[in-house]
Structure 1
Amino acid sequence: MADPFFDRTGTVDLLVGGGIFFELLEPSRVQLQVRTAYLQDTRFGWVVTGEVNTTYLLSMKTAGEIFDEEFRSLCSCQSTGYGLESKANKRTLEENKVLQHFKETAKRDETGRFILRLPFKSEVHELGSTLEMARTRFLSVERRLQRDEKLKLQYVRFMKEYLDMGHMERFREESNVSRDVFYLPHHPVLKLSSLTTKLRVVFDASAKSSSSRSLNDVLMCGPSVQDDLCAILMRFRKYQFVITADVEKMFRQIKIDPSDRDFQRVLWRLAPDEALETYRLTTVTYGTTPASFMATNCLVSLAESSKHTNPEASVIIQRDFYMDDLMSGADTIDECFRLQQRISAILASANLPLRKWCSNSSELLRHIGKSSNDPLFALQIRAEDIVKSLGLSWKPEADEFRFFVQHDPSRARSTKRLLLSDLN
């Protein structure tokens, strides 16, 4: 209620919203030469706190000038936690470099597909030899495959698809050519819940070379360019009609420039009695440090280029994608279907096909239709079916998120970490 005596001095009865003050404070705090005063970091920047003796106000410089000079001195010092060499500042500078690198080097081929350069650090020439390490790792995986025929068939099928789709190319070493190279070891990872690929071959860009440097060590990361997961889910819940989809093989739809492909060499053969051959991965490789940024920033680039011709679809591409997953909607079926068509067309222009379309409306799914070439273009959902969306279990028919927990009765106690593990 309004204070009827706001113009009179009085005691404070109740302080509302005081808790937010402590959420604004950051952990960094620096004592100044004025021993009763401190520099306190906050979410809005640095502030001066503490007490100032009146004698400072009578000196040649004001307290404000003293604090300002000392803060500037701290910021200019390379070795401090607030200067140019601070971890936070380095991360920001690196992210800006990667963004600029993308703008300067990204291009598209005659079909519209993105072709990107890898964002290397200056330490790229410190990479050591990796051929022997990759050979040893491959022979270990090969022995495992020989013991498991089912696993071997899936592994061979995966690698053959990589080669057939042009995502991997056979490479023959030219003589008298010296260049930096990196051989990526690989191994199988099983994901039984996947609707498409139960086995994936993972290429290990964190494997150490002879110099103890990995490929990931010499690649810059890049910033997050998409909305956070919570914001996407909150928006998803406000729509009357919703759609979900994902980009088919998103990373593998984006080419790596030929000049950088020697950093993505792999060893492979179909059988132990064949010669071991060298191949190069031609697309963005999952597990490399900048892979997520490179793929998601292609979506941002598409959104930017279409904001004048398709402003609504541009906004959806910019804010309702999390990695390769789309979760969006509208308040009418017609509007939702129109968005689906426009988003599909924009992404298709860069060879980023959307599939696994799903909705809480059977009528909308009928509008979306089916594809004769892809049985998973649109999911056929029954009343009891559950769809995985952004790691959550979504029941489209009821439009509900659900959690399924398998509790272990033998467990002595439950912690937050264990409960979160059960939910996943």
Structure 2
Amino acid sequence: MALQRLGNTEKRLMKNQEVGDSYSKTIEQYLEKRYIRKINQDEEKSGKWFLPHLPVIRPDKSTAKTRIVFNASAKHCGVSLNDMIHCGSKLQNELCDVLIRFRFSVAIVCDITEIYLRIKVPQEDGPYQQFLWRYVKPEEKPDVYEFSNVVFGINSLPLQAQFVAHTHAETNRETYPMAAETVLKSTYMDDSMDSVSTEEDGVKLYRQLSALWEKAGMYAWKWRSNSVGELQHIPTEDVVPEVDLHDNRLSSVKTLGVLWRAKYDIFIFKANPPEDDFAYTSGFSTDIAMLLNPLGS
């Protein structure tokens, strides 16, 4: 099954060399960062499950336009890896609760890069997280790779990420009290967003969050704020590229799926009303489901 799907993925990559090169480069980076390791011939029989993978292209993203998704829901003989993994309880904060905390004068937002890939898994679980890869050379036997870290596509991924984040926040609460509260109450998946009353507290929160995430083996970047003074304390390369401090430009960016206009500190919701001749058929429910309503109302 995995070999057949590798062939399908290769056909897609061959149609777009830019996507194919990006795909191959991502796997090379996984090797360099030790997220994965190449299996030698003596270990090849150790594999217990092989994950098919495919590219997901996001042209709207300024970084990582091509993402590799490993399909843990792919079935072989009627069973998938996700069928055998308990996804666990929901630990994510409610979006409404996070957005309500985003109400004070100085806002600060950051992303945690590769939060899932930075979480280790027990060595004995590695054989269940193997995959095949060769860069568009169907005549060659594919190499076998094994994940040492959490795979993007496993159903328990949200639980593991939040558990790691919450554990580090509780452990370091005394040292980084402001950051610990943000991680526990104002973080959703890989996005931390919070607000404070003063610019001084905003700088303090930035420094604490950076240090806390670093202690967890994570890296916080793509910082955004409605305060130019606060952003001036953050390295330029860690600020979202849409921000230009020289021109005091604070552009609109998406935060938890909602467009946030940082300059005016407001949320923007875009609606596309139906045409006058719109027919209320069975497709109406499908169109409604496409709308994102973070407040749940």
- Partner of residue 60, structure 2: 193
- C-alpha distance in structure 2 between counterparts of 1:411 and 1:152, whole Å: 43
C-alpha contact 2:242 2:250 (8 A) present in aligned 1:
no
Which whole-Å CA distance do the structure 1 matches of 2:216 and 2:179 have between them?
Answer: 15
Q: Aligned ranges for residues 255-334 of structure 1 at < 5 Å?
A: 255-272=120-137, 273-334=139-200
Mapping of 1:308-387 within 5 angstroms? 308-370=174-236, 375-381=237-243, 383=249, 385-387=251-253
Partner residue of 1:181?
Answer: 48
1:69-108 matches, within 5 Å, as: none
**SS of the residue aligned with 1:288?**
coil
Aligned to 1:170: 38
Distance 1:186 1:358, change over 3 A: same
Cα shift readout 1:341-371 (whole Å, capped 9, x = no counterpart): 111101101220100001011111112233x
| Other structure's SS at 1:256 match | coil
CA distance in 2, matches of 1:336, 1:219: 40
> Structure 1 residues 376 and 419 mapped into 2: Cα distance closer, same or farther (>3 Å)?
farther
Q: Deviations over 1:57-109 (max 9, x none)?
A: xxxxxxxxxxxxxxxxxxxxxxxxxxxxxxxxxxxxxxxxxxxxxxxxxxxxx
**Structure 2 equivalent of residue 77 of structure 1:** none
- Closer/same/farther in 2, CA of residues 268 and 179 from structure 1, 3 Å limit: closer
2:21 equivalent to 1:153: yes
Question: Which stretch shows the higher mean deviation, 406-415 or 382-391?
Answer: 406-415
Q: SS state of the match for residue 125, structure 2?
A: helix
Structure 2 length as normaliser, TM-score? 0.88
> What is the rounded CA distance, in whole Å, between the counterparts of 1:394 and 1:264 in structure 2?
38
Gaps of 5+ in 2: none
State whether residues 241 and 360 of structure 1, in contact with CA within 8 Å, keep that contact through their aligned partners in structure 2: yes
> How many Å separate the matches in 2 of 1:422 and 1:407?
12
1:207, distance to aligned residue in structure 2 (A): 0.8
For residues 308 and 170 of structure 1, the distance between their equivalents in structure 2, rounded to whole angstroms, comes to: 41
Instruction: Tell me: higher relative CO, structure 1 or 2? Use CA pairs within 8 A at least 6 residues apart.
Output: 2
SS of the residue aligned with 1:251? coil
Q: 1:411 to 1:143 in 2, by over 3 A?
A: farther
Can you list the C-alpha shifts for 1:111-157, whole angstroms capped at 9, x where unaligned? xxxxxxxxxxxxxxxxxxxxxx0001101111222233232222222
Q: Could you list the runs of 5+ residues in structure 1 that have no partner in the other structure?
A: 1-132
TM-score by length of 1: 0.63
Equivalent residue in structure 1 for 2:104, among 239, 246, 262: 239
Using the alignment, how far apart are the partners of 2:286 and 2:45 within structure 1? 49
Contact persistence 1:240–1:332 (CA under 8 A): yes
Alignment correspondent of 2:113:
248
2:7 alignment partner in structure 1 = 139
Over 3 Å off, 4+ runs? 177-180, 376-380, 405-411, 413-417
Q: Tell me if the contact between 1:369 and 1:378 (Cα under 8 Å) persists in the aligned partners.
A: no
Q: Indicate conservation of the 8 Å contact 1:356/1:378, yes or no.
A: yes
Partner of 1:38: none
d(CA) in 2 for partners of 1:298, 1:182: 25
Q: Distance in 1 between matches of 2:220 and 2:258?
A: 20
Counterparts of residues 209-220 of structure 1 (less than 5 Å):
209-210=76-77, 212-220=78-86
Deviations 1:162-206 (A, max 9, x none): 22222121002437x975611000011111222211111110001
In the alignment of these two chains, the number of paired residues is 285
For the pair shown, the structure with the greater C-alpha radius of gyration is: 1
Measured in 1, the distance between the counterparts of 2:277 and 2:288 equals 11
Equivalent-residue separation in structure 2 for 1:326 and 1:256 (angstroms): 24
Deviation at 1:271, TM superposition (A): 3.2
- Bigger mean CA offset, 298-307 vs 139-148: 139-148
On the 8 A contact 2:47/2:130 being kept in 1, the answer is no
CA distance in 2, matches of 1:145, 1:379: 28
Is this contact kept in 1: 2:14–2:136, CA < 8 A?
no
Corresponding position of 1:395:
261
After superposition, give the CA deviation of every residue in 1:304-349 in whole Å (9 maximum; x if it has no partner).
Answer: 1012233332222111100010110100111111111111101101
Check conservation: 1:405, 1:423, Cα contact below 8 A.
no
The structure-2 alpha-carbon separation of the partners of 1:413 and 1:336, relative to structure 1 and needing over 3 Å to count, comes to farther
Determine the C-alpha separation between the residues in 1 that align with 2:203 and 2:240. Answer: 13
Specify the SS of the correspondent of 1:188.
Answer: strand
CA separation of 1:357 and 1:278: change in aligned 2, threshold 3 A: same
Q: What is the match of residue 62 of structure 1? A: none
Task: State percent identity of aligned pairs.
Answer: 29
CA shift for structure 1 position 411: 6.7
